[in-house]
Amino acid sequence: MTHLAELVDAVYRKTGLLAADVESVLLLHGVPEHPAASPTGRHLQLHRLRVRGMKDLPTGPVPIDRTFDLETGVTVIAGPNHCGKTSLLELITLMLRGSTRNLQPDVAGWLRSVSLDVQVNERTLGLRLALTDGKAVAGTILEGDVSALAGADDDPNGCVVVERTSDEGGWHQALETQMLHRLSLEPLPSYKKIAGREIGVVSSHGWAAYFAALYPPAGASTILLGPDNNAAGVAPRLLDVFLDLPGAALRARLAAALRLLKAQDDVRRTHAGATAKALTDTTAAARTDLETARAALRAVEPGADLDAGAARVALIAAQAAHDSALTRATEASTELASAHALRIADRRALQSLIEDTAAGALFHGLNPQACPRCESSIDEDRRRQESDAHTCSVCARPVPQSNDPEAAAERRQDAEEAVAASERAEHLMGQAVEAAEARTVTAATDVEKAQAAFDRATAAQDDSGLEQARRAVAVAEGALAALESVQITDTEQDVAVIVLDAAHEVLTTTVAGAAEDLLDELNTDIADLGRSFGIARLETVNLKRNLQMPVTKGGGYTGPFGQQSAGERLRLRYALLIALLRIGRRRSIASHPGLLLLDSIRAEEVQDDDATQLLAALVEVCRDEPGLQILVTTQDTSLAGLVSEPPATISPLPGQDAFF
């Protein structure tokens, strides 16, 4: 189960969570949608190392320019102490890993450039590094065939420039990127706690961690595999990778993410729980305070409270009466203004009627003889028409009968009655305004009296302590309401933690199942190689995926790897690395890259016979594993000659006791 669909289904069945939620979490944490392509293999082989510089000797500066051609199989780097054997391995480390483990400062000081040609799987890379005062100042990674690279130490013409760098950090990062990519390796994540902090950090261990399996520590170390400090448990993850266990890399990523999420979730839930408890305690105390305040309120004499209440009701009623009186006075004033306007209009209408009647009588008495405009004479026919049909003898229009005394008298009587009515209405509205204004004054006086009574009742209430008690109750009620409105963050476990935890369990089962028979095979190889390397009493080893390895020797005694002698630890470590290479070849899986740098095999209790047996066994292993390349350092220059098939040997410069 190494890709999204399979893992979603497994987690869904395990947790019962919605498949969409599971998928969202897994995608967020880098679970691939499709199965990743399996790497075809891993292989590293050194071809050529060239070291150049200017070394200061008592006789003066001496230029150094030495090239070492390296073949597969075992190569013994032999020479006396302090001749530069370990420095050769450190320079290879500088060129392959990006930094040295322990290059001596005096060597670093005279170096000017280092070139290393190395085959990485099917491609050959030329690694070129320029140094000043022991610091990398320019780096180049080339790609080409072996012959082209051999002539490209200073001029990359004929080769492809893959990458250029200008400082130590850039060189280290360039090798990190190239080696991980070309060897199909992923960074190894791990979760690390930080002293004094609740939540740790996820760290990423890259090519340097893998390189520890190429350049293992000395026998004194109790680490079986990986960096000497075994940072954050990287070693078990290295074993999973070199066994090419399906889902191992994904499991490592999810394990680190899960530990971080669990730490964050634990802190969140711990804080939420503490907050909830504090809120519960505070709310309980607030309820107690409220009951205490209410009891104190009940204990106060209630008479003052009743007086204050009655006074307040009276004040409200008086205020309402005053407001009503003001409203009525305003309305009466408006109605008075309307009555006054009506009276004026009626008076004007009466006056107009009187004037119209007088004018009509005057003009009707006139007897014109001619048209006042054109001076045409008015004949008798028109005069008769005026008399019979009541049309004007001048303009022929109907003549109003305004001269009818009876009709005029009726119209005047109606107008005079209207005037009298409007005058009475205006008078009555004036009286209403006066009454409303008087009621307003009275209501205002009542408000003042009610306010005074309320003030006296309130003062009496304050004197009795009732107001203070009521305020205390109000404060307690407000505090309790505020506390009860607080919402505490859900203290349930986060969905992401549940999903990753289940996914990690699923992948752990998958990886463990794939590792079971591989570990049996690997343990058999380690034991066989350990005996061939000189641990005569070795019976069995029981390597586990957590890198614990109980060792059983003659007599049935079983003890952990760390309790074996330094020499035995050294040989068991070599046995593990070569066993990984063997199992990779037999199973056609991408395992160990097949390059080993072994420093000082005569050290750590490996005696003369033991060293010879170990070297002979390594030569035999290389015969069975054609792609394996082992560089061994020793101060015993005769060691290679003691082997029935002597390996290649690198010695100091002729006539000198140093390699440089």
DSSP annotation string for 533-554: TT-TTEEEE---TTS---EEEG
pLDDT for 380 equals 74
Taking residue 292's Cβ as centre, other Cβ atoms within 10 Å add up to 13
pLDDT for 574 equals 94
Per-residue pLDDT of 243-280, as tens digits, reads 998 888 888 888 888 888 888 888 877 777 888 888 88
Specify if 409 maps to a domain. yes
Residue with tokens 């013994």: 76
- CA-closest candidate to residue 491, choices 328, 333, 226, 267: 267
Q: Under a CB-based contact definition with an 8 Å cutoff, are residues 205 and 231 in contact?
A: yes
Output the 3-class SS for 142-185. EECCHHHHHCCCCCCCCCEEEEEECCHHHHHHHHHHHHHHHCCC
3-state secondary structure of 649: strand
Residue type, 144: G
Specify if 370 maps to a domain. yes
Question: 98: burial class by Cβ within 10 Å (0-12, 13-18, 19+)?
Answer: buried
- CA-closest candidate to residue 171, choices 214, 128, 234: 128
Specify if 80 maps to a domain. no
Specify if 274 maps to a domain. no
Question: 26: burial class by Cβ within 10 Å (0-12, 13-18, 19+)?
Answer: buried
Angstrom CA distances, 13 to 18, 197, 215, 502, stand at 10, 36, 44, 10
Low-confidence ranges of the chain (pLDDT < 70): 1-2, 229-232, 300-309, 313, 358-370, 372-373, 375, 386-405, 457-464, 488-492, 602-609
pLDDT for 394 equals 66
- CA-closest candidate to residue 102, choices 436, 605, 597, 595: 597
pLDDT for 315 equals 72
Taking residue 397's Cβ as centre, other Cβ atoms within 10 Å add up to 9
Specify if 318 maps to a domain. yes
Specify if 221 maps to a domain. no
CB proximity list for 274: less than 8 A, separation 6 or greater: none
CA distance 100 to 108: 10
* Strand partners of residue 540: 552
CB proximity list for 278: less than 8 A, separation 6 or greater: none
Specify if 244 maps to a domain. no
Q: Which uninterrupted H or E stretch holds 114? A: strand 111-120
DSSP string, 602-639: T-TT--HHHHHHHHHHHHHHHHH-TT-EEEEEES-TTT
Residue with tokens 């051609």: 69
Chain CA centroid to CA 495, Å: 16
CA distance 246 to 637: 45
CA distance 508 to 545: 11
Task: Give the pair of three-digit tokens for residue 273.
Answer: 């729980």
Angle between helices 405-464 and 466-484 (to 10 degrees): 90
Residue type, 269: R
pTM value surpassing 0.75? no
Considering its fold, how many domains does the chain have in total?
Answer: 1
CB proximity list for 323: less than 8 A, separation 6 or greater: none
CB proximity list for 147: less than 8 A, separation 6 or greater: none
Task: Give the pair of three-digit tokens for residue 483.
Answer: 């506390």
pLDDT for 74 equals 95
Specify if 579 maps to a domain. no
Q: What range does the domain containing 380 cover?
A: 303-464
Residue type, 2: T
- CA-closest candidate to residue 533, choices 453, 473, 609: 609
